[in-house]
Amino acid sequence: MSARLSSASALLGAVSLAASGAAFGACTGLGAPTDTQTKCLTAVQIPGNPLRSFDISFVNPQRAEFYFADRSNAGIQIIDTESLTYKRKLGGFVGVVLNAAKTAVDNNHSGPDGVVTHGRWLYAGDGDSTLKVFDLESSSLTVAQAPLPTGGTTRVDEMDITSDGELLLVANNAEDPPYATLFAANGDRSFSAVQKIMKITVANAIIPAGEGLSMEQPAWEPRTGRFYVSIPQIAGNPAGCTFDGSGGKPICQGGLLIVDPHSSTTVYGAFDAATNTGVLALSDCGPNGATVGPNANLMLGCTPQNVATNTTTQVINAHTKHFVEVGNITGSDEVWYNAGDRRYYLGASRACGKAAGCPAPAGGAALGVVNADTNFFIEKIPQSQNSHSVAADSERNRIFVPQVAPAAVVGSGGDTTTVGAGICGSTNGCVAVYEHQVGMHKVDRDRDEDDEHEHGDR
């Protein structure tokens, strides 16, 4: 049901508009408030089909490039974060797959999904359970080596990579039970030779087969040398819980899978403090997103989409496992730490929970902003419905948030508010660009030696 541009002239117009950066009339309405610290700067248009479905975003500030998984156009789209212009698309993905009734997007089989980069190499998951590798130094828009299967029938979803680019962990979130795959990645080499190392699962007592549970965003934390993977719900947390809260019992909360990539362990059980591995039970948090901030802290995107009782976001320390609750924001999918201004940015598509009870604009999607030094909520800015993807350029303090086109244009999955069109200045969807100016001098990034390992510096 994605609407295509109806003529060659319309397509040329879209490309011209994208190359110029912003659409006429962009950054207006609820999504561009004047009283926030984070300002709507412009909107970059994406040529081709209007945006109906997309997934994860990523920024490589050294290359001055933003990447996002655009299912509507079956590719990874690339935007120049300096000039704020559209650059190109890396194609060959399955694109939007509809459900059996052809009424909605089947997220479990659509692609691309997760995306991450290190140096010249870009890694992306597809809806056919494969990992695809691209060379950003090449003029070719196709893969650098044959797609690598992960052994499932559903998408390769979110992923993260070690600071040296040598190890990559990807999650098959929609398999039942879900699992992760560890790959030997390309590091800083000039040739592509990615290889599968092993499949990683969680004990059935924690993620029971047949329950439709999930495994979400991994985050590499360099000080502890571990991947931390969001698990929306686990069994027995708390004791006697049920996954839907039925029977008057408490609803099961989430967990954090801690993986040692240098271990031979393939099946992880409950958290083991001696090895700092296994599934750590979380308190009042069913997370989707995960990102590493200063002092080995991790922000977790707790969401009522997973656990209806979640009303806050959580920051947990990778060493001590002590945590704090961040109020006034919840419902995040992708979350991102930006070392340039020492803030967390949250793609809070369920900012006020499920659709029922959400204030205007209907749906409640927002860009959340949190101080990473104090863990205090700063602000949230309305976004188009289902706007769940965010990444920031730490060199330029620019924040990129894809917006879906209106439902009147693309059908189910589109924006049912006026927020996205106001931000974009068009009815095609766009990538909104926000900016946080931090004054004449950049925020001191030397206070925490691990800042250099955050997402944007890979």
**44 found inside a domain:** no
Asked if 402 contacts 79 with a C-beta cutoff of 8 angstroms, the reply is no
Residue 314: alpha-carbon gap to chain centroid: 17
Asked if 59 contacts 65 with a C-beta cutoff of 8 angstroms, the reply is yes
Asked if 434 contacts 381 with a C-beta cutoff of 8 angstroms, the reply is yes
Cα angle for residues 121, 59, 227 (degrees, 5° grid) = 75
Q: What's the maximum distance between 2 C-alpha atoms anywhere in the chain? A: 64
Cα angle for residues 46, 68, 396 (degrees, 5° grid) = 90
**20 found inside a domain:** no
How far, in Å, CA of 81 to CA of 64, rounded?
5
Asked if 281 contacts 314 with a C-beta cutoff of 8 angstroms, the reply is no
How far, in Å, CA of 46 to CA of 21, rounded?
10
**19 found inside a domain:** no
Q: Identify the residue whose tokens are 């990447």.
A: 67
Count of structural domains, the chain: 1
Q: Which of 100, 103, 150 shows the shortest CA–CA distance to 126?
A: 150
Q: Which of 387, 426, 307, 364 shows the shortest CA–CA distance to 20?
A: 426
What is the length of the chain? 458
- DSSP letters spanning 143-173: -SS--EE-S-SS----EEE-TTS-EEEEEET
**444 found inside a domain:** yes
pLDDT tens digits along 49-80 = 999 999 999 999 999 999 999 999 999 999 99
Determine how β-strand 255-259 pairs with β-strand 179-184.
unpaired
Asked if 155 contacts 125 with a C-beta cutoff of 8 angstroms, the reply is yes
Sheet holding 148-149, edge to edge: 115-118, 121-125, 130-135, 148-149
pLDDT tens digits along 331-351 = 999 999 999 999 999 999 887
**11 found inside a domain:** no
**3 found inside a domain:** no
How far, in Å, CA of 125 to CA of 272, rounded?
30
How far, in Å, CA of 420 to CA of 414, rounded?
10
Domain range for 177 is 53-393+400-408+436-457
**425 found inside a domain:** no
Q: Identify the residue whose tokens are 């902003």.
A: 369
**318 found inside a domain:** yes
Q: What is the pTM of this model?
A: 0.91
pLDDT score of 386 = 86
Instruction: Give the pair of three-digit tokens for residue 245.
Output: 């809260």
**Ranges of the chain with pLDDT below 70:** 1-24, 352-363, 439-458
Does the CA dihedral 411-412-414-419 come out positive or negative? positive
CATH number at residue 296: 2.130.10.10
Instruction: Give the pair of three-digit tokens for residue 215.
Output: 């495994």
DSSP-assigned letter for residue 128: T
Q: Which of 432, 449, 320 shows the shortest CA–CA distance to 383?
A: 432
**Element (H or E) spanning 410, and its range?**
helix 407-410
Asked if 218 contacts 159 with a C-beta cutoff of 8 angstroms, the reply is yes
- DSSP letters spanning 267-323: EE-B-BTTTTBEEEEPSS--EEEEEE-GGGEEEEEE-TTT-TT--SEEEEETTT--E
Determine how β-strand 377-382 pairs with β-strand 75-80.
unpaired
Query: Which residues does residue 315 pair with via DSSP β-bridges, in sequence order?
Result: 299, 324
Contacts of 243 (CB under 8 A, 6+ apart): 211, 213, 233, 235, 251, 252
